[in-house]
Amino acid sequence: MTYANPDPEPKRTTGLEEGGQVPPGETPPAEGGLSETGPRETHNPTKGWSTVPVVLIGIVVAAVLVFFVGYLIGLL
């Protein structure tokens, strides 16, 4: 088994200066932000609850409440 040095050797590796530094212009420029990629979104759905789920939940809660009140009255 041979041991390979993980540190780059400037004399044998292209694009490195003495000390292992990369000279200016050797690397590509940094990428811009990705916030403006993709198509423009013109429709943003609302973040609140719509009326249909709220009404359905209210009906279920009222039915359960009526059931338990009726059951309680039946026990008396």
Count of CA atoms in the C-beta half-sphere (13 A) of 51: 0
What sign results for the dihedral spanned by CA atoms 11, 15, 16, 17? positive
Reading the chain (76 residues) residue by residue, the pLDDT tens digits are: 566 666 656 566 666 667 667 777 776 566 666 666 677 777 776 677 788 999 999 999 999 999 999 999 887 7
pTM given for the model: 0.40
Q: Residue ranges per domain, the chain?
A: 52-76
Q: H helices of the chain, where?
A: 51-75
